[in-house]
Each structure stands twice: as structure tokens, then as C-alpha cells.
Amino acid sequence: MHRAPIRILGIDPGLRRTGWGVIDVDGNRLIYVGCGSVESRETSPLAERLLAIHQGLARILGEFSPAEAAIEQTFVNKDGASTLKLGQARGVAMLAPAAFGISVAEYAPNLVKKTVVGAGHADKNQIRVMLGILLPKANPGSADAADALAIAITHAHHRQSLALKLAVAR
């Protein structure tokens, strides 16, 4: 019995640039579909920047029709105002898939690094190297897009245990 591949959208939230990455998971095979980033103008009012993130992600969701989505959890910055703005961008980034009826899983940054690289404190270059191995057709144009692909890969590896936890909780 052959099951259809599962399409996953990974999201790396940011107010200036929100990275996105789409992969298909077919059994234990990861297949690169697309990646990029949604940008907002720094000079625009906050509400317009948040709207740009939402509209950009809605366009990606409509174009690629993922079945599942995953996002990186927010880390707390020393600058409270920056953390709050990132939280607002993250909220909008979670809202977009939810509006399409897609559940959104959340993963800690260290878990993403550990899943993709094998070490929880890996740097951006190590993530890019591993992306080249895991998704050879991917060529992310920005660190945000690379991180989003890493988040999608993390969800691909952890989605079954997450589904089991949710089923037990119900």
C-alpha cells in the first residue's frame, strides 16, 4: 500500500524577513519543493508589515497547498521590544496556516539544529551544509529560507511522535 507524500511548510518567523520552505515527505524520503522569504519594508508601520507577512504566507499556502506546517518557537531576546515584535510576526505566521485549516507544530531552535545537524548549538553554515546533503536540489537564497527548510525537516522527523502525543492527550 503506497501512501501519498505529505507536504510540509516550514516557517522561520521574522518581522523584516519571514523564511518559508516547502518539502514533501514520502516515507523516509525528503523532497525539496520550494523556499524563499516574505519581506516587509522597515519604514512601514507595524500593522502594514504584519499584513505583508500574512499576505505573503497566504500566497505561499495557496500556491503549494501544504498539509502541515511547522514554525520555530521564539527565543527571548535581551531587548524586550524586539522580542515583542518578533512575537507579533510569529503570531501572524501561525495565523496564516491556521486560516487555511492547517495545524501548526512548534519546535525549539535547538531541536531544529539537533535534528538537522546532530548538535543543538550548530551554526548557520552547518545547517546549510546539511541542507545540501538532505535536500540536494535546494538552494536557499537567504538564511531565513534555509532555516525554514530546516524547520520543515524537523517536523518531518518528529511529526509521528507529535501526533501520538496529541492522540494520548485527547
Considering 24, 68, 144, 147, which one is annotated as catalytic? 144
> In this structure, what C-alpha cell is assigned to residue 46?
507595524
Three-state secondary-structure class, residue 70: strand
- How far is 153 from 6, CA to CA, in rounded Å? 12
Single-letter amino acid code for the residue at 59:
R
**Of 24, 26, 39, 72, which is the active-site residue?**
72
- DSSP character string of 19-58: EEEEEEEETTEEEEEEEEEEE--TTS-HHHHHHHHHHHHH
Active site residue: 12, 24, 68, 147, which one?
12
Q: Kindly tell me the burial class for residue 137, based on how many C-beta atoms sit within 10 Å of its own C-beta (0-12, 13-18, 19 or more).
A: exposed
Specify whether 26 is catalytic.
no
Beta strands per DSSP E along 64-122: 68-72, 104-107
In 3-state terms, what secondary structure has residue 123?
coil
Can 144 be counted among the known catalytic residues?
Answer: yes
Report, as residue numbers or ranges, the catalytic residues. Answer: 12, 72, 144
